[in-house]
Structure 1
Amino acid sequence: MPEETRAWMIDTLLHLLQTPSPSGRTDAVMQLIGDTLNDLGVPFTLTRRGALTAVLPGESKTTDRAVVVHADTIGCMVRALKDNGRLELVPVGTFSARFATGARVRIFTDDADEFFTGTVMPLKASGHAFGDEIDTQPTEWEHVEVRIDRQVSNRADLERLGFNVGDFVALIAAPELTSDGYIVSRHLDGKAGVAVALTLAKTVAEQKIVLPHTTSIMVTITEEVGHGASHGLDPDVAELVSVDNAVCAPGQESIEDGVTIPMADLHGPFDYHLTRKLCRLAKERGIPHARDVFRYYRSDAAAAIEAGANTRAALVGFGLDGSHGWERTHLDSLEGVYNLLYAWLQTPLTFEKWDAKPSGKLRDFPSSKQPAPTEQWVPLSRGDHAEPGEWEGDHWPPPQGSPGPSS
């Protein structure tokens, strides 16, 4: 990646991080993304709900590929106005209150032109008042509250300022870029992927690249609450790659200085052929990479498949330590994701003829590309055991269409 491109990606990421966008309140960040695409001359549309789809030109008449990222983040919502003048919270997205405690926040009331600042505090916040109880108190959401930076001491004071149940509370990202190339911030989950996708769009637009296949860049707004890419995807898309964080933690294989290609997540396995194509591309291009499996994780790819998308789907991840808390990634990892996506977008579809259509005949299905055991399982006409290659019946080999083993 040229240094100028790298600098643009960093600057774009910092702007994204400093624009609050908890799921359900994403208009401001989508305006920023839209303005960026307008500046690049990349056309895009918005769905009724606000998800964005930009189009990168290709030789195909249909939109055959999609890069999917999400701009929404975890956050909170006001559950109750408390009698002590503080705010009770519920999480937006899945994360522990222990990683919200101590966070500086912005609270957005229904007046769109105003927000308030505050801090998420445990109910027992001062050791000088509660002694050792500050270490033994529970850490669930009902045991934290927002202390607002205004003179309020009761519920009536909150109502006078315009606070309501349902107000959004955004955790301030406070990004830092270290001399070693690390980015430490809240909300890298999602927004680092958006920065990479926008950088790809910049490269394609400025260099006037025509890809082999017309490609959409889809920016979703509800990934953190599970909806994500459930709407807005072009029905012609044959290959989808979601870009999201790859969890760096004990017991995981993800790397913080390269790209991670997950084989499966909580939703199940990703597409066999597309994931392995991405692995081959990374190896051929000398991109540092790893494979991983995530047990407590889902992405936009899962939302798209569950919504009925007839596409091969895979995930590409930038290494992330401390997900949904104080997160950290490295610029080398973002560059690795960029390089892999850039390489993939310039290749034919995984199976050019087959994948170009939504369906086809069994004889054309490219199943021979997926290795199978050399031993052959055979159905039996009676309940006795038979050795591989043995057939109990009138004919061998078995007639075409005979059932195979059940899983």
Structure 2
Amino acid sequence: MNMDYCLSELKALLSIDSPSGFTDKAADYLIGELTALGYAPEKTRKGGVFCCLGGEGSPLVLMAHVDTLGGMISTIKPNGRITITPIGGLRAENCEAENCRIYSRFSGVYSGTLQLCNASIHVNGSYGEKLRTFETTEVVLDEPVKSADDVRALGIEAGDFVCFDPRTVITESGYIKSRFLDDKLSAAMLLALAKEIKDNNRTLKRKVYLHFTVYEEVGHGASASVPNDAEELISVDMGCVGDGLTCTEREVSICAKDSGGPYNYAVTTALVEAAKSVGAKYAVDVYPHYGSDVEASLRSGWDVRHGLIGAGVYASHGYERSHIEGVENTLKLLEAYVLD
């Protein structure tokens, strides 16, 4: 498939701030791209994007999410510094000294940095001993503010979103480094699949839908908007890389079980067979701390088979890393699974 297109779409999606609950711009971008490819996407009531790629029989839904981790202002402190509450599994340790954008609900966008409280090493003798939490860190605004009233005069209030820089880099050796590869990398791959189908008039083995969800990081992304005729759901999300697992950033991971329990045995087996049929490098793993969109669908009562795949991603929920080969192997598996 067109890797240049895939990586271009990845960069575009990563450049759009979209923590859970603040995803309209990302969804609108997807609608524009799918429309330009010749499809008829729709925005769901929850704000996700749904699109039929065509085909007939045994309907399959491929899911990826474009919501990310982020923050929201919880308190404006008397000194003009800001305390945030995390959205999703954001960790303060992974955000310290990271630049961010504060989206005022009514008065524009401001920049700042998340810092440890009293962050100057030459002043703070216990700097290295302090536990990093969202109570011990604060956003320092790039504005001359000295009080809560100064901050509010800018139009910044509790409930405003705080979005962190993705810092996207693709190295000459093929490594893809960025915040929020979970799961914009998979969203870019599904766009590449959609482009392949249109550009080359590919035939689908079955009816295929795409569903780009927008509340996955807070647990209910795919709890709704499943088509009534769907028989199978596959979440295309990040594959885990770490101790005790066999997947690397250069492979496609097929998940057999995560914290929500085992995935459908027949679907997992069919995914392995599809990977083997095209020589895609893959690993089958059990993820110890993970939950996916398709599990939200099952918990909502949908009677469907479910599976989970994704390119290997290291340092999940931090500054994440994958590799172009992992993307290629995931696309090979998707092509083998849905296209003649």
Q: TM-score range by the shorter chain?
A: over 0.9
Give the AA of the match of 1:72: D
What is the CA-CA distance between 1:139 and the residue it aligns to? 1.2
Alignment partner of 1:130 is 2:127 = no
Give 1:82's aligned residue. 77
- The CA deviation at 1:239 is 1.4
Q: Does 1:43 align with 2:40?
A: yes
Q: Please state whether the residue corresponding to 2:122 is helix, strand or coil.
A: helix
C-alpha distance in 2 between matches for 1:108 and 1:173: 16
Choose which of 50, 53, 63 in structure 2 pairs with 1:53: 50
Q: Secondary structure at the match of 1:129?
A: coil
- CA offsets, 1:107-157, max 9 Å, x none? 10112x7201110000131111112x0001121210010001111111010
1:188 corresponds to 2:181: yes
Q: Which runs of 5+ in 2 are unaligned?
A: none
The one-letter code sitting in structure 2 at the alignment partner of 1:129 is: V
1:247, distance to aligned residue in structure 2 (A): 1.5
Output the amino acid matched with 2:116: P
Give, in whole Å, the separation in 1 of the partners of 2:129 and 2:167: 29
Q: Are 1:267 and 2:264 an aligned pair?
A: no
Number of residues paired by the alignment?
Answer: 340
Partner residue, 2:88: 93
Letter in 1 for 2:92: A
Contact residue 235 and residue 310 of structure 1 kept, 8 A:
no
TM-superposed deviation, 1:207: 1.7
Q: Which residue of 2 aligns with 1:350?
A: none
1:344 to 334, 337, 340: 337
CA distance in 2, matches of 1:102, 1:320: 23
Identity among equivalent positions (%) equals 34
Q: Which amino acid aligns with 2:75?
A: A
| 1:278-322 Cα deviation digits (max 9, x unpaired) | 111111211100010011100111111111111110000111111
Q: What is the 5 A alignment of 1:360-371?
A: none
Deviation at 1:251? 1.7
Q: How far off its partner does 1:236 sit? A: 1.1
1:235 is aligned to 228
- TM-score for both structures, normalised by structure 2: 0.98
Match of 2:238, SS state, is strand
**Partners of 2:281 and 2:202 in 1: CA distance:** 25
Counterpart contact for 2:202–2:339, Cα < 8 Å:
no
How far the C-alpha of 1:7 sits from its partner, in A, is: 0.5
Q: Which runs of 5+ in 1 are unaligned?
A: 348-407
> What is the distance in 2 between the residues matched to 1:70 and 1:31?
14
CA distance, structure 1, for counterparts of residue 203 and residue 273 of structure 2: 23
Pick from 9, 13, 35: which aligns with 1:16? 13
2:97 equivalent among 102, 107, 124:
102
CA–CA distance in structure 1, aligned partners of residues 63 and 135 of structure 2: 35
Q: Quick one: which amino acid aligns to residue 79 of structure 2?
A: N
Distance 1:342 1:150 in 2: 50
- How far apart in 2 are the matches of 1:258 and 1:22? 27
Residue 112 (structure 2) aligns with: 118
For normalisation by structure 1, the TM-score amounts to 0.82
- Tell me how far apart the structure 2 counterparts of residues 212 and 289 of structure 1 sit (CA, whole Å): 22
Deviation at 1:346, TM superposition (A): 2.8
Name whichever of 210-219 and 148-157 sits farther off. Answer: 210-219
State the partner residue of 2:22: 25
Q: Deviations over 1:192-244 (max 9, x none)?
A: 01000000001111222231311100000000000011011102111111011
In the other structure, the counterpart of 1:306 is: 299
- The aligned residue for residue 69 of structure 1 is 64
1 CA distance for matches of 2:272 and 2:164?
A: 36
The CA distance in 1 between the partners of 2:150 and 2:118, in whole Å, is 22
CA distance in 2, matches of 1:346, 1:34: 23
Aligned residues of 1:59 and 1:210 also touching (Cα < 8 A)? no
Instruction: Indicate yes or no: 2:3 matched with 1:6.
Output: yes
Letter in 2 for 1:181: G
Match of 1:219 in 2: 212
Question: Aligned partner of 1:24: which letter?
Answer: G
Letter aligned with residue 97 of structure 1: A
Q: Which residue of 1 aligns with 2:136?
A: 143
| Equivalent residues of 1:88, 1:145 under 8 A apart | yes
Q: Which amino acid letter does the alignment assign opposite residue 98 of structure 2?
A: A
Q: Take 1:343 and 1:256, find their aligned partners in 2: how far apart are those partners?
A: 20
Corresponding residue number in structure 2 for 1:296: 289
Give the match for residue 312 of structure 2.
319
Q: Deviations over 1:295-354 (max 9, x none)?
A: 11001111111111111100001111111111000011111111101111137xxxxxxx
**Bigger relative contact order, structure 1 or 2, given CA contacts below 8 A and separation 6+?**
2
* Structure 1 runs of 4+ with >6 Å offset: none
**Cα distance in 2 for residues equivalent to 1:291 and 1:85:** 49
Q: Which residue does 1:400 correspond to in 2?
A: none
Work out which of the two has the higher radius of gyration on C-alpha atoms and give 1 or 2: 1
Q: Is the 8 A contact 1:124 1:137 kept in 2?
A: no
